């Protein structure tokens, strides 16, 4: 653990400078209906409208841009179920860097197609029987490429934190920030920004009920590994939080909460019907916890990260039209 480089708010500021003019400054949306439902004032940071359809572009671009030129020319390798895959592929393409992405065979077709469309080489694996980290590490060593994991990397964490930085710059100080949690890169980065800009802000992470490794980790005081969970929140099916982000979560996050798949579907439907936006199941984690009262926020100013919108339209239609 002593060898880890734990990012700070200064790293988030540096990432903001690298991302200037490259990442979209996504809108902060409001909804009177959502405010009335929760008796709170909610600010939704719409990262479903980010380049490549998710917040992941921030960390991916920042991590590649931070590499020295000679190293960058050897290419990058990443592993992801979809959003980090697309983000690395797109960010690498923009910077003229070759990319190879390790993706599960059951990854959503829309995410695989987009990753290939950005010029990446895709290598498939079986998420239930093979180790993606081992495969990616081996390929990176063989090719002399830089490995950029989806969340356990200081420059990725710092890049993701720019989402909360922008939210607070636009909305002003907030009482609470609620963030989706998969591997913890987004939550850790956003916690760095929130505590620097809004020191009294309470921070919560939200993960699927089926995969509460983050919740278990905070309660136990160490990183807990679990079997691969099964949930419609395909971007949050990690088996453990990252070692670079766990110290930040311990220091700055007030708690980890969980939501059910049914609550995610209801939240997807809310955004489609009331706010006219498409948010993928994983992107709904934080909002679902707020809208279903799992996070008590009456009378508070609450920032909510909508982390992505990459969902197959047939799947989306089936889910939101279900009873």
Q: Which residues are catalytic?
A: 56, 81, 207, 211, 213, 307
Residue 90, class by beta-carbon neighbours within 10 Å (0-12 exposed, 13-18 middle, 19+ buried)? buried
Alpha carbons 217 and 224: distance in angstroms, whole number? 5
**303: which 2 tokens?**
């920032």
DSSP-assigned letters across all residues of 25-85: ---EE--HHHHHHHTSEEEEEEGGGSGGGBTHHHHHHHHHHTS-HHHHTT-EEEE-SSHHH
Distances (CA, A) of 142 to 29, 83, 145, 146: 45, 25, 8, 11
User: Alpha helix (H) ranges present in the chain?
Assistant: 9-19, 32-38, 56-65, 69-72, 83-94, 109-117, 132-143, 154-171, 185-197, 213-220, 246-252, 261-270, 285-291, 313-320
**201: which 2 tokens?**
């802000």
**102: which 2 tokens?**
């390790």
CB-based contact 271:291 (threshold 8 Å): no
Distances (CA, A) of 47 to 26, 82, 83, 127, 207: 6, 15, 12, 26, 17
In this structure, the number of other CB atoms found within 10 A of the CB of residue 20 comes to 10
**22: which 2 tokens?**
């490259």
Alpha carbons 187 and 206: distance in angstroms, whole number? 9
Alpha carbons 97 and 123: distance in angstroms, whole number? 17
Query: How many residues would you count in the chain?
Result: 323
């Amino acid at each position: 653990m002593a060898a880890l480089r734990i990012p700070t708010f200064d790293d988030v500021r540096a990432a903001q400078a690298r991302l200037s003019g490259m990442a979209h400054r996504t809108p902060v949306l409001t909804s009177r209906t959502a405010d009335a439902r929760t008796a709170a004032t909610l600010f939704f940071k719409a990262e479903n409208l980010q380049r490549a359809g998710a917040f992941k572009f921030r960390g991916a671009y920042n991590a590649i841009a931070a590499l020295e030129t000679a190293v960058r020319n050897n290419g990058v390798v990443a592993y992801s179920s979809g959003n980090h895959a697309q983000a690395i592929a797109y960010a690498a393409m923009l910077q003229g860097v070759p990319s190879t992405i390790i993706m599960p065979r059951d990854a959503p077709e829309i995410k695989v197609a987009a990753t290939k469309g950005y010029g990446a080489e895709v290598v498939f694996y079986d998420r239930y029987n093979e180790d993606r980290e081992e495969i990616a590490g081996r390929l990176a060593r063989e090719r002399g490429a830089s490995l950029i994991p989806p969340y356990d990397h200081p420059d990725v964490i710092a890049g993701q934190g720019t989402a909360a930085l922008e939210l607070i710059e636009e909305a002003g100080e907030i009482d609470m920030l609620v963030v989706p949690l998969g591997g913890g890169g987004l939550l850790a980065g956003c916690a760095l920004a929130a505590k620097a800009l809004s020191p009294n802000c309470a921070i919560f992470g939200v993960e699927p009920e089926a995969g509460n490794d983050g919740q278990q980790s905070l309660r136990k005081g160490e990183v807990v590994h679990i079997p691969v969970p099964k949930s419609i929140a395909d971007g949050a099916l990690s088996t453990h939080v990252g070692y670079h982000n766990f110290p930040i979560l311990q220091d700055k996050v007030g708690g980890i909460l969980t939501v059910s798949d049914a609550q995610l579907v209801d939240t997807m439907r809310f955004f489609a019907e009331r706010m006219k936006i498409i948010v993928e199941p994983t992107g709904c984690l934080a909002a679902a916890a707020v809208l279903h009262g799992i996070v008590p926020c009456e009378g508070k100013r609450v920032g909510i990260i909508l982390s992505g919108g990459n969902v197959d339209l047939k799947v989306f239609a089936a889910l939101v039209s279900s009873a």
